[in-house]
Amino acid sequence: MRLSRCLRSVNKMLEYYSGFNPSPLSIKQFIDFGKAASEQQSFIFLRQEVPVRLANIMREIQLLPESLLTQPSCRTVCEWYMQSFNDILRFEETGPPTDSVLRDFCETLITIRNRHSSVVQTMAEGVIEMKQSVKLDTSTENNIQYFLDRFYMSRISIRMLINQHTLLFGKQRKEAGVGQVGCIDPFCNVVHVIEDAAANARFLCDRYYLASPEIEITQVNGEWGAGQVTQVNGEWGAGQITQVNGEWGAGQITQVNGEWGAGQITQVNGEWGAGQITQVNAMVAPDAGSSSDSDGGVQSPITLVYVPSHLYHILFELLKNSMRAVVEHYPDTSDFPPIQLLVVNGKEDLTIKVSTGGPHSHLTVKVST
């Protein structure tokens, strides 16, 4: 009888919290909150936001086909989410948070995160179990894939909230990197993350195949930085340089305030619009973290505001799969073509192109900046 009442109570709370939409949060809001907020403010926000996000995805799970819901792995995932929902509800009616309540809350968040550490693999096992027992039509497969996309995105968002709180206010606060705000790095060095991901992917490839292809990284920083226009004499009016060829090593300017030939400009000391350009394509001394381009020029490192662990995970999976494809495509040689990565920092986004050498063997990843 008591168990039945508890289940009715949980279902009632599930219905209540699923009626709210999750609060949309940007990285800027995460950073601003992390720099100025107190642990009490974070506690008050998360004790409402985490149940809302859990309840919404749990409602979607209930809409899955019965053939998936009855699989052992899927039932395990449902039990994890129900347990986590119950754990966080303990703090719903807590009054002004004391130090002990805040510690308990932080430990509860860590418990929830650890409990859900293998959700991706377990849910995948459930889908495999279903496909082995039931023949699916195309429509059902598409619906399940749509759910999985939303399910995994919801999981990422919940872990992001938990990681921010535990890194800012918990015992893990010392684990955050220098200059980071929780798990967000305002100056995440993209090439450094690529190099870490490539090193670990090569390690796995070497262990399994006893060989691995090399990685070649080329970066083009589209921002006005070191080595691009190093000196401008006078006011620099809007719209004077409207398009610039990314090959800064050769110093090419293909369009300047209108049509301009494809020739190179290495030095111009005449009047141009509102100001004078006294030097273009000059060499500057590299500073720490700068990198040379293929023509010997110096570029400032490509950085962006991002979660390094997320970027690492994406790149590691891409590079691991790329290395496997290259090694298996050339089984009779150890002289593999290199995997080429082109990193381009644009005005609105960052593009990483991974190419394994064939005419259709490349993949492009865009990251909003």
Sheet order of strands, 215-221 included? 215-221, 339-345, 349-355, 362-368
Ranges of CATH 3.30.565.10 domains, the chain: 187-220+302-368
Ranges of CATH 1.20.140.20 domains, the chain: 2-180
Q: What percent of the chain has pLDDT over 90?
A: 61
Q: What percent of the chain has pLDDT over 70?
A: 73
Q: What is the DSSP string of 41-93?
A: HHHHHHHHHHHHHHHHHHHHHTTS-HHHHTSHHHHHHHHHHHHHHHHHHTTTT
Q: Which CATH number fits domain 2-180: 2.60.40.10, 1.10.287.4070, 1.20.140.20, 3.30.930.10?
A: 1.20.140.20
pLDDT at residue number 149: 95
d(CA 232, CA 235): 8
> Distance from CA of residue 357 to its chain's centroid?
26
Altogether, the residues listed in the chain come to a count of: 369
d(CA 296, CA 299): 10
In the predicted structure, residue 3 carries a pLDDT above the cut 90: no
Kindly report, residue by residue over 70-85, the tens digit of the pLDDT. Answer: 999 999 999 999 999 9
28, 79, 317, 366: which is the annotated catalytic residue? 317
Tell me what the mean pLDDT of segment 139-158 comes to: 95
313 included as an active-site residue: yes
Kindly report, residue by residue over 163-189, the tens digit of the pLDDT. Answer: 999 999 987 665 555 688 999 999 999
Kindly report, residue by residue over 228-280, the tens digit of the pLDDT. Answer: 443 343 344 433 443 343 433 433 443 343 333 333 343 443 334 433 343 34
DSSP letter for 294, please: T
- In the chain, what's the furthest Cα-to-Cα distance? 90
pTM above 0.85, yes or no: no
Query: What integer best gives the mean pLDDT of the chain?
Result: 80
Which of 115-119, 228-232, 319-323 comes out lowest in average pLDDT?
228-232
165, 221, 281, 320: which is the annotated catalytic residue? 320
321 included as an active-site residue: yes
Q: Which CATH architecture has domain 187-220+302-368?
A: 2-Layer Sandwich (3.30)
Tell me what the mean pLDDT of segment 30-50 comes to: 93
Considering only CA atoms, give the Rg of the chain: 26
Amino acid at 162: I
143, 189, 200, 321: which is the annotated catalytic residue? 321
pLDDT at residue number 294: 46
pLDDT bin (cut points 50, 70, 90) of residue 6 is low
131, 192, 310, 313: which is the annotated catalytic residue? 313
Contact 290, 168 (CB under 8 A): no
